[in-house]
Chains A and B, each alone.
Chain A
Amino acid sequence: MSRSTEVFIIGGGPAGLSAAHVAARLGAQTLLVDDSARVGGQLIKQTHRFFGSSNRDAGIRGITIADKLQQDIKDVADRLTVLENTAAVGFYHNKEAGILSQNAYERVTYQSAIVCTGATENSLAFENNDLPGIYGAGGVQTLMNVHGIRPGQKILMIGSGNIGLIVSYQLIQAGVEVVGLVEGMPTIGGYLVHASKIRRLGVPIYTSHTILKALGSDGVEGAVLCRVDDKFRPVPNTEFEIKCDCICLAVGLTPLIDLFQQAHCRMVHVGELGGLVPLHDSSMRTTNPDIFVAGDASGIEEATTAILAGRIAGARAYESVHGKSAEADTIVAEAREELRTLRSGSTGERIRWGRERVLKEVGEC
């Protein structure tokens, strides 16, 4: 079996859905595949309200944004095919890719591809870090907010970035006791507004601390924490035990980049973006001219920026099939302006720095 499409999109999260919507609305025949049972990406478990920007999704819950994106693509159903439970398994020469669904394999011929594979959760090195009961923050959100099951009764949160802070609050909403939040840095990583919420609810926040080991043999029974010095070395004789039945790791994400490497896109390591990312220009085009990138796969950020980058990639992918379009230019200009606003200020500093590095590499900055 084989299929043919103009624009081929891998991944139905905020980036992929937005790219599909734009490409199809501009007039491109578009195919989107997603390996999960339902498109929406990780938004389907995000119950918190997004900051967004003045004209995009400010104060809206992630789950509502997911509904909106799922609704949007219905408007372009005549030009957009969505295949759920379908994984892209590889790129071939001559603009061909392989997709796999329910053990049936098909080839896809495309003119332009947009890869929005997202990211995978990081673990952390400490003794017993493989015990059952130690979960990624995204895993905890899925269990609790999608499937309605608490991860345990008492949880210890590692990492005070926005994900650690937000998921701690969501755990409390679900009726789980958060016994503490551990942060290696001397200050909280995420926004103060999120930290204040959980602090008001009495969650102890241990800055300049780390987890030395998890206790238990067939499951988590507790953890040993200690103070760290300014070089993150454990300070002797500061160890103490804390009782819990699960541990949540909110220690960052790494872009999922296998498909780019396999398609011979040039990669660059940028710590601020989460590790190795495909080199790309401001049109989100990689060094393989037929392949675009958007969302966390191009650098770890959040859903609002993924939506905007997806719109840029969707518009440019449409143009690479159908030629220059004033409407596409307008979409790109608007998205760039919104991105500039979202990434401004001190909170966007790391991302700006990381993105500048990528653009410098392709000679755009």
Chain B
Amino acid sequence: MTSLRIEKHPVLSFPERKIVKFYFEGKEYQGYEGEPIAAALHAAGIKTLRYSPQKNRARGFFCAIGRCSSCIMEVDGQINTMTCITPLAEGMQVKMQKGHGYIKP
């Protein structure tokens, strides 16, 4: 879908997967169903996933296996979602998390 997706690899092959639509900050994107949200965003060229609570610093993913919490975002209204291990699904609303995020009362 983008140039960051590996098309040819000497060792690995990546199976065809279903393409789904999702939304990042309200704008429509495409990714593969079931891949991590952070991976789909990365392939779409989006590396900044949130801004840190104290110094408002841009943050991306780091460990990609759900250990470090660098990739937490708001997904379908749920803050602190670890997007590096949460599978992408059709129609997901993904938003950058600003600081600690906001829970609707």
Of B43, B49, B58, most buried by chain A (CB within 10 Å of CB) is B58
Verify A149–B4 contact, CB threshold 8 A.
yes
Beta-carbon contacts of A34-68 to B below 8 Å, as 1s and 0s? 01110000100001000000000000010100000
Identify which of residues 116-145 in chain A touch chain B, using a CB-to-CB cut-off of 8 Å: 120-121, 123, 130-136, 138-140, 142-145
Verify B12–A132 contact, CB threshold 8 A.
no
Which residues of chain A are near B11, meaning CB under 8 Å? 47, 61, 173
Verify B85–A132 contact, CB threshold 8 A.
no
Distance of A227 Cα from B63 Cα, bound (Å): 28
Tell me if A150 is interfacial: C-beta within 8 Å of chain B. Answer: yes
Which residues of chain B are near A35, meaning CB under 8 Å? 66
Verify B68–A120 contact, CB threshold 8 A.
yes
Other-chain residue from B9, B14, B58 in contact with A218 (beta carbon distance below 8 A): B58
Verify B59–A148 contact, CB threshold 8 A.
no
Tell me if B29 is interfacial: C-beta within 8 Å of chain A. Answer: no
Verify A36–B65 contact, CB threshold 8 A.
yes
Of A63, A121, A131, A139, most buried by chain B (CB within 10 Å of CB) is A139
Which residues of chain A are near B64, meaning CB under 8 Å? 135-136, 138-140, 142-143
Verify A134–B62 contact, CB threshold 8 A.
yes
Which residues of chain B are near A138, meaning CB under 8 Å? 63-65
Distance of A218 Cα from B87 Cα, bound (Å): 25
Distance of A148 Cα from B36 Cα, bound (Å): 12
Which residues of chain B are near A152, meaning CB under 8 Å? 4
- A120-B67, A149-B39, A173-B11 given; A219·B62 CB < 8 A: no
Report the minimum CB–CB distance from B94 to chain A (whole Å): 15
Tell me if A217 is interfacial: C-beta within 8 Å of chain B. Answer: yes
Tell me if B26 is interfacial: C-beta within 8 Å of chain A. Answer: no
Verify A130–B65 contact, CB threshold 8 A.
no
Verify A150–B63 contact, CB threshold 8 A.
no
Tell me if B90 is interfacial: C-beta within 8 Å of chain A. Answer: no
Verify B39–A147 contact, CB threshold 8 A.
yes
Verify B36–A145 contact, CB threshold 8 A.
no
Other-chain residue from A131, A143, A175 in contact with B42 (beta carbon distance below 8 A): A143
Verify B63–A36 contact, CB threshold 8 A.
no
Which residues of chain A are near B47, meaning CB under 8 Å? 132-133, 219
Size of B's binding interface in residues, CB under 8 A:
33
Report the minimum CB–CB distance from A92 to chain B (whole Å): 24
Instruction: List the B residue with the shortest CB-CB distance to A170.
Output: B11
Identify which of residues 36-62 in chain B touch chain A, using a CB-to-CB cut-off of 8 Å: 36, 39, 42-43, 47-49, 52, 57-62
- A36-B66, A121-B68, A218-B48 given; A149·B6 CB < 8 A: yes
Which residues of chain B are near A61, meaning CB under 8 Å? 11
Verify B39–A132 contact, CB threshold 8 A.
no
- A130-B59, A131-B58 given; A148·B66 CB < 8 A: no
Distance of A117 Cα from B43 Cα, bound (Å): 30
Distance of A143 Cα from B64 Cα, bound (Å): 7
Report the minimum CB–CB distance from B66 to chain A (whole Å): 7
Distance of A123 Cα from B4 Cα, bound (Å): 24
Verify B6–A135 contact, CB threshold 8 A.
no
Instruction: List the A residue with the shortest CB-CB distance to B55.
Output: A130
Tell me if B35 is interfacial: C-beta within 8 Å of chain A. Answer: yes
Verify A144–B62 contact, CB threshold 8 A.
no
Tell me if A365 is interfacial: C-beta within 8 Å of chain B. Answer: no
Report the minimum CB–CB distance from A18 to chain B (whole Å): 20
Distance of A187 Cα from B12 Cα, bound (Å): 32
Identify which of residues 58-96 in chain B touch chain A, using a CB-to-CB cut-off of 8 Å: 58-68, 84-85, 87
Distance of A214 Cα from B69 Cα, bound (Å): 21
Q: Which 7 A-B pairs have the closest CB atoms?
A: A132-B60, A139-B64, A148-B14, A132-B47, A142-B64, A147-B39, A148-B6
**Which A residues form the contact surface with B (CB < 8 A)?**
35-37, 42, 47, 61, 63, 120-121, 123, 130-136, 138-140, 142-145, 147-152, 173-175, 217-219, 256
Known contacts A36-B65, A152-B4; can you find 12 more A-B pairs with CB under 8 A?
Answer: A36-B85, A63-B12, A130-B59, A132-B59, A135-B64, A138-B65, A145-B12, A147-B35, A148-B6, A148-B9, A151-B42, A173-B9
8 residue pairs bridging A and B, Cβ less than 8 Å apart = A36-B65, A63-B12, A132-B48, A135-B62, A138-B65, A139-B61, A144-B6, A148-B6
